[in-house]
Amino acid sequence: MFRSKVTGTGSYLPEKVLTNFDLEKLVETNDEWIRERTGIERRHIAADDQATTDLAAIAARKALAAAGKTPQDIDLIIFATVTGDQVMPSSACVLQHKLGCRPIAAFDLSAACSGFVYGLSVGDQFIKSGMYKTVLVIGAEIIHRFVNYKDRETCILFGDAAGAFILERADANDPNVILSTHLRAEGSLGDLFLLPAGGSKIPLSQEVLDQGLHFVKMKGREIFKNAVRTMSAVCTEALEHNQVTSDQVSWLVPHQANWRIMEAVANHFDFPKEKVVSIVHEMGNTSAATVPVAFDTAVQDGRIQRGQLILLTAFGAGLTAGSCLIRY
Ligand code: UT7
């Protein structure tokens, strides 16, 4: 069996910034409440002429450059998103064309905020099986276009971003590989966090638009509790599976939804807060993009180094959750 390794990462945050003070002008909220309850200070918002694959293409080119690869080298694109350019064709196919790849396999993966960790797992399996050697995994979202800026419980949370990893088949004796991935879903809790309309169940209509069913709906407190419960469980699973203790892990890179959630997950297995990579203050919750963007930020600023053990984890609508232990 082959193993896969992360050979390059890249990320992109759109230029336009929406601060807590900007949101004070839109809904009844304030900077202090948002910072204390979530840790978020600002989010980045895509320009009107940008689609999700435009953000993804920038992140993908950076990841390719970091890996010393060209679009011609990619064998498979896995595009994790719930805010793709359109229902069809998939964003992965649009991105394949934008990057100028060969006629390789390309598909979207829908697991909401856990999408990138799911994507890493799928990419890892394709490399392990020997089917592909080089896989581009993307997490990208323009979620602000699905958020109601009259709903203070959701609009303060979300922003837009893209992150990308290049996975490659590792040399036989290379210790720096993806060690394991752990995925789960609990569909019975799907109503806690959803975007009700726009699919086959509730097609778009004027009535749907008037009722705001095309926007994200969330039961915040319930989602909070389940996020801590499930991310703690999948992190424990990853550590136990690899017989690793938390003090051997250099960095935890969790889904960036709320600093208090990340802190609670770290506390669950006595992991020091200083070793949690968080940029939630800078970008808010960017769904499938949070994990690769946070990871790439820590690679760029030198925190994440080759040879370190890194634990990634995410949680999202579904309810989905996942973890991935990497020796980087
Ligand atoms: O990717 C995964 C998806 N999402 C998440 O992970 C989000 C998970 N949930 C959360 O992060 C938190 O539950 C929130 C940040 C959404 C809310 O924080 P909370 O500490 O759970 O607050 P709460 O819902 O218990 O509300 C406390 C109070 C309420 O007022 P009352 O009923 O106590 O009078 C809310 O109406 O805060 C009020 N409130 C606000 N006040 C100012 C809710 N949103 C706001 C707001 N500004 N934006």
Ligand 1 mutation pick, 147, 149, 221, 262, max ligand atoms within 8 A of CB: 221
* pLDDT band for position 193 (cuts 50, 70, 90): very high
Percent helix, strand, coil in the chain, to 5, is 40, 25, 35
> How many Å lie between the centroid of ligand 1 and the Cα of residue 263?
17
Atom 41, ligand 1: residue with shortest CA distance:
29
Helix (H, G, I), strand (E, B) or coil at 119: helix
> Domain 178-327 - what CATH class?
alpha beta
Q: Could you tell me where the DSSP H helices lie in the chain? A: 20-24, 31-38, 52-67, 91-99, 115-128, 152-155, 206-211, 220-241, 259-268, 280-283, 290-300
Q: Can you give the residue ranges of every domain in the chain? A: 4-169, 178-327
Q: Per residue in 101-122, pLDDT tens? A: 999 999 999 999 999 999 999 9
Ligand 1 mutation pick, 150, 153, 229, 265, max ligand atoms within 8 A of CB: 153
* Fold match, 4-169 / 178-327: yes
Mean pLDDT of 260-287: 96
Q: Per residue in 29-58, pLDDT tens? A: 999 999 999 999 999 999 999 999 999 999
DSSP 39-95: ---EEEE--TT--HHHHHHHHHHHHHHHHT--GGG--EEEEE-SS-SSSSS-HHHHH
CATH topology assigned to domain 4-169: Peroxisomal Thiolase; Chain A, domain 1 (3.40.47)
